[in-house]
Chain A
């Protein structure tokens, strides 16, 4: 059980929007795990979009197992994708609402492959088109994680007031 939860860095998107948010120079000592919390909304039309996160700028070697609910239906999938994903709000969603995601990466400096988990919900304030995701993933790479890039998978931008927070957790 984690006994520390320390904010390493954070960012809030300004009026012009931003296509991605990058945390670089992630500390390699002092923490065992990383947590990224994103509150985001994409500028493209639609109710929800995928949030992609790339470790060390890598777009390969990710696999996922996930369950998600959208409206009245539930689904599951397995996939090999370019960066793991959660859901964000899109421009067709209720005004001024955001999708909230948490990405947990244990043992981010180890020389083993990196496991991760993601959970998220969209704050639609509606009885339909709500979405929630829960997934487990693996990045088949032994490199220590030094940077994380979060972006949308539809080529649009994060709108103003989207935020990303990076926390370090020490288990010792």
Chain B
């Protein structure tokens, strides 16, 4: 069972507490949300990279040459 650490600043006492079923469920929910967000970002980056490659090919220039346009 996952645990959490709680430090009481008044006493200095540290306790290790097992997560409740609700807390475990929330952690799993957070993990799934994180994975979905990450997958969406990777997909968006992939689409953007592909579009960039196709544009460079269409223009007949390299990425280095394209960078010079912004210099």
B22 interface residue (CB < 8 Å to A): no
**Is the CB–CB distance between B5 and A156 below 8 Å?**
no
Give the distance in Å from the alpha carbon of A9 to the alpha carbon of B6 in the complex. Answer: 11
A77 to chain B minimum Cβ distance, whole angstroms, is 13
Q: Which of B9, B10, B29 has the most CB of A within 10 A?
A: B9
Q: Given A20-B4, A22-B4, answer yes or no on A156-B9 (Cβ-Cβ < 8 Å).
A: no
A19 interface residue (CB < 8 Å to B): yes
The total of chain B residues at the interface (CB under 8 A) is 24
Q: Is the contact region of chain B dominated by helix, strand, or loop, or is it mixed?
A: mixed
Give a binary string over B1-35; 1 marks a CB under 8 Å from any A CB, 0 the rest: 01111111111101010010001000111111011
**Is the CB–CB distance between A19 and B3 below 8 Å?**
yes
**Is the CB–CB distance between B7 and A155 below 8 Å?**
no
Question: A154: nearest residue on chain B (CB-CB)?
Answer: B34
B38-57 contacts to A (CB < 8 Å): 38
A26 interface residue (CB < 8 Å to B): yes
Question: B18: nearest residue on chain A (CB-CB)?
Answer: A19
List the interface of chain B (C-beta within 8 A of A).
2-12, 14, 16, 19, 23, 27-32, 34-35, 38
List 23 contacting pairs A-B, 8 Å CB cutoff, sorted by A: A9-B8, A10-B7, A16-B3, A18-B2, A18-B3, A18-B16, A19-B3, A19-B4, A20-B4, A22-B5, A22-B7, A23-B7, A24-B6, A24-B7, A25-B8, A153-B34, A154-B34, A154-B35, A155-B27, A155-B29, A155-B32, A156-B31, A157-B2
